[in-house]
A and B are shown apart, each in its own frame.
Chain A
């Protein structure tokens, strides 16, 4: 590929410190990062760490409270809750990341198109966004997930349809404000094509903000995946999932409350980790 000086991303200000130092001086990023590494470590190493198989039943030891043998107790079929919890982290986090890829790309791209070109392109994209936003998020998620068939495929289809809007809104606003600035005008006078300006110059400047939004959006996506699991139209058993774990535990809430409480705390933990990371990244880029 031929590359010229013109293709270097133009940046409004260019004061850079050592990246490593700046990261260390952003406490929320450090805290969020450590929490995420721990979580991902547990999920990846689940087969090594987990004391039991996630679907291994032991009908002699069902609904046991937490003990040395079963750190988080056992469920109604005598399955080890801790093992199920980290195996569920594996499936839930994997789906969360995969389901976010396509919406992120389409959203960022459509937002840049709308913001950069304005006029009718913007009107059309905005009208589509407004239409989607009119439907309550959970209503549309539930209907589409059900209609496209319960299970992982349903989750992916649902978020390809509705997940891009958040990103489109952010990058649209940013691109529209950049469009009025000099460095875009100078790129235009140099005769660069619209697509090239968008991909080479606009993209690097809207990406940080989009990534910050991605962090919080992933929390929302995870909560939605878990909610679908709880409602019985998400990840299908026997694949472990925090939502189905909470739903299964609901019948035993008076006697074994930890069955429903513990998977919920796992979701909350993930949420805190991701939003701290997002806050930290936002801080970091603001200071640059």
Chain B
């Protein structure tokens, strides 16, 4: 690891950073194309005829033919793909819902705010709690508290997220009555209040990984020469901890969370189901039970594209912050 900024590496120039950026963007674009193609083939790799799945076992051949026409399945596969991509590029849509006729994009946009709020709250809680736990573990290195916190990931690895949600409902909803047991409350405060338990549940899935890597990072800072100097200068350790250790760890935590964003979204979809929250997760399940393919495709596509964009941003941020690429100044 090279940490000094004084040494200017000749290989890092404006040109090389531009080339890196182009490559990263191209790669992300290629993944997006693959994602779109995968979503398009989603209803085609499924064993059985989607039209039959929608209409039921005993549907008439005419009804099936007309459903094929509605889904565009009567066209040659190349035309179908072109139509799918064109619709996506011009309208940002994956087609109209088979059940209600509303566009998938609108249905998803309708449900997205609650899910996004839940993800943001969960990320915030995950960062806060992991910083706290990691700091406790790092400052009590090799003591009982540290060991307890380090066992934590081993125990939580096998905890199904929906089960954690149920236990939290049992404890804080049913027994203590601090939070509602399900649904989303009225108004801003009601909404935030009712989303706290689900957010803790989602955050819970991220905390073990975050704590593990944060603890290691904090120990690195705590045992560095830089910190010894600060201590020698007479700065109280509490100030050192808050000013330097915490500040050095906040950004890496956020980025680690970005790397795990895919798991975070997946967990949120399941947790919504446990708490009866009408977000993207419940839209997914209701579309699945009604076999509403365009909506299912839309959800898969938007989630995947969100993951690609966030991963790209994280990659760019970590490249930008990496001391080895900072020879520019």
Q: Which residues of A contact B (CB under 8 A)?
A: 127-128, 130-131, 133-140, 142-143, 146-149, 216, 219-220, 222-223, 226-227, 230-231, 233, 243, 246, 250, 253-254, 257, 260-261, 264, 267-272, 274-276, 279
Contacts and interface: CB of A to CB of B under 8 A. Distances in A.
Contacts of B269: 136, 138-139, 142
Interface stretch (B10-18, B153-161, B193-201): B153-161
Nearest to B171: A257
B162 A227 contact: yes
Nearest to A141: B266
Nearest to A249: B166
Nearest to B161: A227
B154 A279 contact: yes
B267 interface: yes
Interface string B267-307: 10110010000000000110010000000100110011101
A253 B166 contact: yes
Nearest to B299: A139
Q: Which 7 A-B pairs have the closest CB atoms?
A: A271-B158, A138-B266, A136-B266, A264-B163, A131-B34, A147-B46, A134-B304
B47 interface: yes
Interface in B250-267: 262-267
A275 B308 contact: no
B38 interface: yes
B160 A127 contact: no
A143 B304 contact: no
B191 interface: no
Given A130-B27, A148-B46, 18 more contacts: A127-B30, A127-B31, A131-B31, A134-B262, A134-B308, A134-B311, A136-B307, A142-B284, A227-B270, A230-B162, A233-B288, A254-B174, A257-B170, A260-B170, A261-B167, A271-B159, A275-B158, A279-B154
Interface centre among B38, B161, B163 (most CB of A within 10 A): B163
A74 to B, nearest CB: 19
B114 interface: no
Residue among A147, A254, A261, A279 having the largest count of chain B Cβ atoms under 10 Å: A147
A250 B159 contact: no
22 contacts: A134-B31, A134-B305, A135-B38, A135-B300, A139-B303, A142-B269, A148-B46, A219-B157, A223-B160, A227-B162, A230-B163, A231-B273, A250-B166, A253-B174, A257-B170, A267-B160, A268-B155, A268-B159, A269-B158, A272-B155, A272-B157, A272-B158
A138 B263 CA distance: 8
Contacts of B169: 253
Quick one: which of A128, A142, A260, A267 has the most chain B CB within 10 A?
A: A142
Interface string B13-37: 0000000000000010011001100
A274 B158 CA distance: 9
B216 interface: no
Interface of B: 27, 30-31, 34-35, 38, 42-43, 45-47, 154-155, 157-163, 166-167, 169-170, 174, 262-267, 269-270, 273, 284-285, 288, 296, 299-300, 303-305, 307-308, 311
- What is the interface of chain B mostly: helix, strand, loop, or mixed? helix
A150 to B, nearest CB: 10
A271 B174 CA distance: 27
Contact of B158 (A147, A219, A253): A219
A98 B118 CA distance: 36
Contact of A135 (B43, B47, B303): B303
Nearest to A147: B46
A220 B160 CA distance: 9
Task: Identify which of A131, A269, A270 gathers the most chain B CB atoms within 10 Å of its CB.
Answer: A131
B273 A275 contact: no
Contacts of B273: 231
Contacts of A148: 46-47
B31 A264 contact: no
Instruction: Name, among A139, A254, A260, A272, the residue most crowded by chain B CB atoms within 10 Å (CB to CB).
Output: A139
A283 to B, nearest CB: 13
